[in-house]
Amino acid sequence: MPSPMTPGIAPARLPADELAANFDDLHAPYAPHEAAVAADRCYFCHDAPCVTACPTDIDIPLFIRQISTGTPEAAAKTIFDQNILGGMCARVCPTEDLCEQACVREMAEGKPVEIGRLQRYATDTLMARQSHPYSRAPSTGKKVAVVGAGPAGLACAHRLAMHGHDVTIYDAADKPGGLNEFGIAAYKATDNFAAAEVDWLLGIGGITIKTGMRLGDNLSLDDLTGCFPAVFLGVGLGGVNALRAEGEDKDGVRDAVNFIADLRQATDLANLPVGRDVVVIGGGMTAVDAAVQSKLLGAQNVTIAYRRGREQMSASRFEQDLAASKGVRLLFNAQPVGIHGNGAAREIELEYTSDDGTGLKGTGETMRLAADQVFKAIGQALATDVGLALEGRKIAVDEVGRTSLAGVWAGGDCAAGGNDLTVTAVAEGRDAAEDIHNMLTS
């Protein structure tokens, strides 16, 4: 956290009422009549392409038909059968690149059925009106350890609990939720929804959460495998990559993920300091979330600098356009080479890049931008050596999440092969749970 005395970084740049408006729900929830009208646009396709595009294989035409017939609770059950975190995924999933992009209405008219908002309507309705919709199977007497209380770990734990197993979740943070709680923009999940969703999920019973337990610190994989017949790792990626630019250690330079976490946990946004001139380095969702929220906190000038072209950004075009609509400048083919200032950041020096087909290279031409605050959002890696085979900088897994060590599964951002989305993490946790259940009961 930068010191409030760091030049240019200050709290309360905007009045409280403006901050509240800025961080209101990004997409207002549907009223019942609006949901019915939106559901009526669905063609209820056979072999619907939207289902194929959904990482959790939700039967989208079925749940939309259930909404259209006035049974949103049944629609929610259809969603939760495949994705127990369907409420959060309805808020944060890049539907514009997945199910909605595949929608026949999108291809024919350029306006898809708003599947994400319909999913939120259904799941919010059930979560508000009913107790937990699932019951546990008779106890098997089997115990499973889950490390990480993020989307993958929670999905895995819930499915195992449904099958009658007892699950202990260990998490390094002081509260569960993982990136849903600490790592996404506040305007995507308002009213403490992430915490409320965890409480609702735990209604299945049979799940115990122990916080403040970090793998490699006060938690050992050897101890876990010695005590539990099955262990699932959903530890995420805690290590933030370095800029490798001169001056990276100056005041005012920090990790974007930590900034977002501070913002998500802040009780009063007016007390959260932000720079006047903010530059975010990176091209993913974290970069966009950090940049947009800096602007919403009152930063005057915010720039996202990405070393490649627009088409290579991992942030969706919707997210890019959202950033631009909030006044964020998008700067492409520019990489940091230096951060200048007397102890604290005052300027960032960027070098233009090009790719002639042999790899990205600096051109030697540079520019400088005013920057009293610089956020690093250039990817993460495993924070702890877990002693398992790796694929790149992630844990190597097979199609159901088995690792190189018998009795240990992994999923979510820490596992190789995924696309670092909440919805993908849920699918991987769910599928690993089914494989663990098969192993425990065979």
Residue found by looking up tokens 């009208």 in the block? 37
Amino acid identity at 433: A
The b-or-e profile of 103-119 (16+ CB within 10 A means b, else e) is bebbeeeeebbbbbbbb
Torsion, Cα of 13, 18, 20, 24 (10° steps)? -120
Low-confidence ranges of the chain (pLDDT < 50): 2-4
Amino acid identity at 372: D
pLDDT for 420 equals 85
Residue found by looking up tokens 């035409």 in the block? 61
pLDDT for 380 equals 84
Q: Is residue 262 a contact partner of residue 272, using CB atoms and an 8 Å limit?
A: yes
Average pLDDT, the chain: 95
Q: Is residue 140 a contact partner of residue 165, using CB atoms and an 8 Å limit?
A: yes
Interatomic CA distance for residues 410 and 151, integer angstroms? 12
Global pTM reads: 0.96
Q: Which two tokens stand for residue 233?
A: 């790792």
Interatomic CA distance for residues 238 and 326, integer angstroms? 29
- Residues 6 or more apart whose CB falls under 8 angstroms from that of 356 comprise none
Interatomic CA distance for residues 156 and 411, integer angstroms? 9
CA dihedral for 101, 104, 105, 106, sign (positive or negative): positive
pLDDT for 149 equals 98
CA dihedral for 27, 32, 36, 39, sign (positive or negative): positive
Interatomic CA distance for residues 428 and 233, integer angstroms? 11
Q: Residue 290: which of 177, 144, 165, 187 has the closest Cα?
A: 187
pLDDT for 35 equals 98
Residue found by looking up tokens 């089997």 in the block? 142
Q: Residue 328: which of 350, 305, 306, 295 has the closest Cα?
A: 295
Domains of the chain: 16-23+242-376 (3.50.50.60), 32-129 (1.10.1060.10), 143-238+388-441 (3.50.50.60)
Q: Is residue 280 a contact partner of residue 257, using CB atoms and an 8 Å limit?
A: no
Interatomic CA distance for residues 274 and 289, integer angstroms? 14
pLDDT of 276-297, one tens digit each? 999 999 999 999 999 999 999 9
| Backbone torsions φ then ψ of 384, nearest 5 degrees | -130, 135
Q: Which two tokens stand for residue 185?
A: 């923009």
Q: Which two tokens stand for residue 315?
A: 């942030």
230-233 and 143-147 strand pairing: parallel
- Residues 6 or more apart whose CB falls under 8 angstroms from that of 318 comprise 94, 96, 97
- The CA-CA-CA angle for residues 196, 167, 403, to 5°, reads 110
| Backbone torsions φ then ψ of 221, nearest 5 degrees | -65, -35
Q: How many helices (H) and strands (E) does the chain have?
A: 17, 17
pLDDT for 5 equals 53
Residue found by looking up tokens 């070098």 in the block? 351
